[in-house]
Structure 1
Amino acid sequence: MMRARRTAAAAAALLLTAGTGACSGAAGSDEAGTSELTGDVTMVVPFGAGGGSDIAGRTIAAGLEAATGATITVENRDGGAGAIGYTYLLSKQGDPNYLLATETALLSLPMTADTEYHYTDFTPIMSIGEDFTLLVVAPDSPFDGCADAVEAAKEQRVVAGVSGAASLDNAVFAMVEQDTGAEFDRVPFESGGEVMASLIAGRIDIASLNPSEVLGQLESGDLRALCVAADERYDYDALSQIPTAKEEGIDVSYGQFRGVIAPGGITEEAAAHWEDAGREFVAGDAYDDYIAANLLQPGPLYGAEFRAYLDDNRASLEEVMNP
């Protein structure tokens, strides 16, 4: 079904943008260097090197380079849970030579902090897929499934590690609480790596982690997955036996998207240029390799479709972040 959704989304996007023309190489620049594409482009990553956003940004940058012939330099501008990178892109209003590797913080951070930006300040280019979180515990945990963890959290203190108030995992635990009436003692950490280390050390009881960052620990037996917060099970062999939250009686499904945005105020032609380049990237082997290596659910969306997705995603987040 996920493959069918990916195909349908791509076909719809092609219909929406029919007539925009094939992707071309880099164009010239006006005197200010902001209204037309040049050969030098910056891909901003609003988090540090080595993480999921950095990997996504570098992979997409390479794909867009191959599609356009432009030189795309990746620049990490981390800090403030992503706010520094997004604020930097905000300062590049109208300049299509800047892109940003985006994810859920685009929507969630302005709900939990006083940021200068709003997601509507930017131009949506494309999403490449979704990352559905796993609820995981230590191997000796008394919880056999997510239903057990929920029932325990209704009666006693169950400590859940999350990587920040604006993170996907914090939102997932909030959704579980709203659906079930359970209450987890959510403890924030700086990163998913710190959450995982604390879970392995026994300092917390449960965590919500992305498959790509926890697969090694699942395979080694250092951690155990209770369920995945998705509508369907993953079809990767390493994850296919993990039940969904809905199978456990918990009506929660929420994925972290990964994609690309550009500054607001760029021309329609510039936006179409990057959307077309995105389609070329998705049609190649590099996209499939990235999706498989990072255990994502594929689902590319472009331009207006990506904007509609962001609108819906934000509405879901608003219900739990600001109930």
Structure 2
Amino acid sequence: MRYKRILSMGLAAAMAAGMLTGCSSSAQENTGNAASGAGDSAAEQVVIQLGYENNPGEAIDLGCNEWARLVEEKSGGTMKIEVFPSSQLGAKVDLIDQMLAGAPVITLADGAFYADRGVPDFGILFGPYLFSDWEECWTLTESDLYADLCSDLEEQGLKILTSNWIYGDRHILSKKPIRSLADLKGMKIRVPSNDIQVEGMQVLGANPTPMALGDVYTALQQGTIDGFEQPITVIYAGKYYEAAKYLTLTEHVKNNTTWICGTDFFNSLTAEQQQILIECGEEAGIYNNEQYFQQEEEALNALKEAGVEVIEIDKDEFREAAQSFYQLDKFTSVWSDGLYDRVKEAMGA
């Protein structure tokens, strides 16, 4: 696929030139850190905690372990990433608060969360049915518009390390079938705790119910929710199909994910350490994406074998309903002028 070629070429070019591009361009601005880090402190091992909601064995988890391996190898053991899957370090919002306080923590997040953290324009990237395919997504992340958004987020205390990881196409797993937009109306669908995904599900007629992913299995069992939305690989790895037997292939969000740390922590690293952290994250992202596409097919087949009914829908009626999201005054009143059109242009649509 084109995105693999682009990312592989981009990574090789960045490593050969010894410089970082896109959202990582500010690493060169911190070259003074290399001098200030010389001496005894430079010899101390930097230990970073990498926390995420996904379970062991998922593509994201495999990618994180690859990231940890690459960092330790390329730093000669002077840097170490400790991985904590399955929300072991807490919910995403808690980790973001920790990194804003200066903790050496990394987690994955998306534009929807960044909209709630001081960069409203970032939220549109997680709007329903924004992207038609992955090519549009990668084109956008390589654009000047995206680089500007990353810079704005950095001013809010959050540093994007890499944006080339696929989290997956998001679909709905539910306890009763969804065959049309009408079937979704009023259903309690779990979404992450951010305004973008809450409103994105609401415009499709559902009753969005924010909660941590770690609470979803029990909520399905107890009937607190009727369903939730995640990529197929996450649905299978978490065994959520044991509590809900209908998978509707809505593909309402093409979810690439980004990895972030606190700006203060990032700036405390030497320029060399920053470069290692980012380049290894990009390389691990390519590995994650390869694992994702393999696991997605395997997971879909396994879900069918486990008795899950996989439902194909007419996406056109869902896309049509989703267009109202981009006219919501709640967002347009805080988005910059002409944002939707500028994003579409930047993604080549």
TM score, norm. by length of structure 1: 0.56
Checking the alignment, whether the CA contact within 8 Å between 2:47 and 2:80 is kept in structure 1 is yes
Offset at residue 130 of structure 1 (A): 1.9
Offset at residue 4 of structure 1 (A): 1.8
* Structure 1 Cα separation of the partners of residues 328 and 209 of structure 2: 21
Residue identity matched to 2:278: E
Residue identity matched to 1:214: I
Partner of 2:117: helix, strand, or coil?
A: helix
Matched ranges for 1:1-323 at <5 A: 3-15=1-13, 18-20=16-18, 29-30=37-38, 33=41, 36=42, 38=43, 40-46=45-51, 57-70=64-77, 71-74=79-82, 78-79=89-90, 81-92=91-102, 98=104, 100-104=106-110, 107-110=114-117, 119-120=153-154, 121-131=157-167, 132-138=169-175, 141-143=176-178, 145=179, 148=180, 150-154=181-185, 157-163=186-192, 165-166=193-194, 171-172=196-197, 174-178=199-203, 182-189=204-211, 191-215=212-236, 217=239, 222-229=244-251, 252-259=252-259, 261=261, 263=263, 264-265=266-267, 266=269, 268-278=271-281, 281=284, 287=288, 290-291=291-292, 295=296, 322=331
Deviations 1:30-54 (A, max 9, x none): 3683xx5x45122223557957777
Offset at residue 7 of structure 1 (A): 1.6
Offset at residue 20 of structure 1 (A): 0.9
Q: CA RMSD for the aligned pairs?
A: 4.5
Q: Partner residue of 2:305?
A: none
1:200–1:41 distance in 2 versus 1, CA, 3 Å: same
Offset at residue 11 of structure 1 (A): 1.6
Residue identity matched to 1:103: A
Residue identity matched to 2:231: N
Residue identity matched to 2:48: M
Partner of 1:187: helix, strand, or coil?
A: strand
1:256–1:173 distance in 2 versus 1, CA, 3 Å: farther
Partner of 1:110: helix, strand, or coil?
A: coil
Q: Partner residue of 2:147?
A: none
* Structure 2 Cα separation of the partners of residues 320 and 65 of structure 1: 47
Offset at residue 88 of structure 1 (A): 3.5
1:253–1:274 distance in 2 versus 1, CA, 3 Å: same
Partner of 2:17: helix, strand, or coil?
A: coil
Partner of 1:204: helix, strand, or coil?
A: coil
Partner of 1:133: helix, strand, or coil?
A: strand
Offset at residue 109 of structure 1 (A): 4.7
1:15–1:119 distance in 2 versus 1, CA, 3 Å: same
1:260–1:7 distance in 2 versus 1, CA, 3 Å: farther
Deviations 1:201-253 (A, max 9, x none): 54433321232331254877952211142xxxxxxxxxxxxxxxxxxxxxx43
1:89–1:193 distance in 2 versus 1, CA, 3 Å: closer
* Structure 1 Cα separation of the partners of residues 52 and 276 of structure 2: 26
How many aligned residue pairs are there?
245
Partner of 1:183: helix, strand, or coil?
A: coil
Partner of 2:48: helix, strand, or coil?
A: strand
Structure number with the higher helix fraction is 2
* Structure 1 Cα separation of the partners of residues 5 and 231 of structure 2: 24
Residue identity matched to 2:257: F
Structure 2, unmatched stretches of 5+, are: 20-33, 120-151, 298-324, 333-349
Checking the alignment, whether the CA contact within 8 Å between 1:46 and 1:101 is kept in structure 2 is yes
Structure 1, unmatched stretches of 5+, are: 22-26, 113-117, 230-251, 297-315
